[in-house]
Amino acid sequence: MIEAVGLTKRYGKTVAVDDLSFTVAPGRVTGFLGPNGAGKSTTMRMILGLDRPSAGRVLIDGKPYAKLDRPLRTVGALLDAKWVHPNRSARAHLQWLAKSNGLPDRRVDEVLDLVGLTKVAKRRAGGFSLGMSQRLGIAAALLGDPKVLLFDEPVNGLDPEGILWIRQFMQGLAAEGRTVLVSSHLLSEMALTAQDLVVIGRGRLISQSSTTDFVERATENTVRVRSPHADKLGAMLLDKGFTVRDDADGALVVSGATSDQVGDVAAAGGVVLHELSPQRGSLEQAFMQLTGDSVEYHTDLAATGK
The least distance separating ligand ATP from the CB of residue 54, rounded to whole angstroms, comes to 12
* Selected binder of ligand ATP within 29, 30, 39, 169 (CB under 6 A): 39
Q: How far, in Å, CA of 139 to CA of 151, rounded?
A: 12
Distance from C-alpha of 114 to C-alpha of 143, rounded to nearest angstrom: 10
CA-based nearest residue to 108, from 129, 126, 122: 122
CA pair distance 181, 66, nearest whole angstrom: 19
CA 128 to chain centre: 25
Per CB under 6 A, the list member of 14, 188, 258, 289 interacting with ligand ATP is 14
At 205, which helix (H) or strand (E)?
strand 204-210
- Choice between 34 and 76, CB closer to ligand ATP: 34
Nearer of residues 14 and 87 to ligand ATP, judged by Cβ: 14
* Options 30-38, 64-72, 204-212, 254-262: segment touching ligand ATP (CB under 6 A): 30-38
The interaxial angle of helices 130-142 and 106-114, nearest 10 deg, is: 130
Which of 24, 31, 33, 34 is close enough to bind ligand ATP by CB under 6 A?
Answer: 34
Question: Is 42 among the residues that bind ligand ATP (CB under 6 A)?
Answer: yes
- Please tell me the count of residues contacting ligand ATP according to CB under 6 A: 11
201 lines the binding site for ligand ATP (CB under 6 A): no
- 8 A C-beta contact, residue 156 and residue 132: no
Q: Is 184 in the site for ligand ATP (CB under 6 A)?
A: no
11 binds ligand ATP (CB under 6 A): yes
Residue 280 contacts residue 215 (beta carbons within 8 Å): yes
Q: Does 13 bind ligand ATP (CB under 6 A)?
A: no
The span of 31-39, 68-76, 172-180, 231-239 binding ligand ATP (CB under 6 A) equals 31-39
- Mask for 59-88, x = binds ligand ATP (CB under 6 A): ------------------------------
Strands of 25-136, DSSP E:
28-33, 55-60, 75-78
User: 39: which residues sit within 8 A by CB, 6+ positions away?
Assistant: 9, 16, 17, 18, 20, 200, 202, 203
Among 2, 29, 33, 40, binds ligand ATP (CB under 6 A): 40
By CB under 6 A, name the one of 2, 4, 7, 16 that touches ligand ATP.
Answer: 16
Positions touching ligand ATP (CB under 6 A) are: 11, 14, 16, 34, 36-42
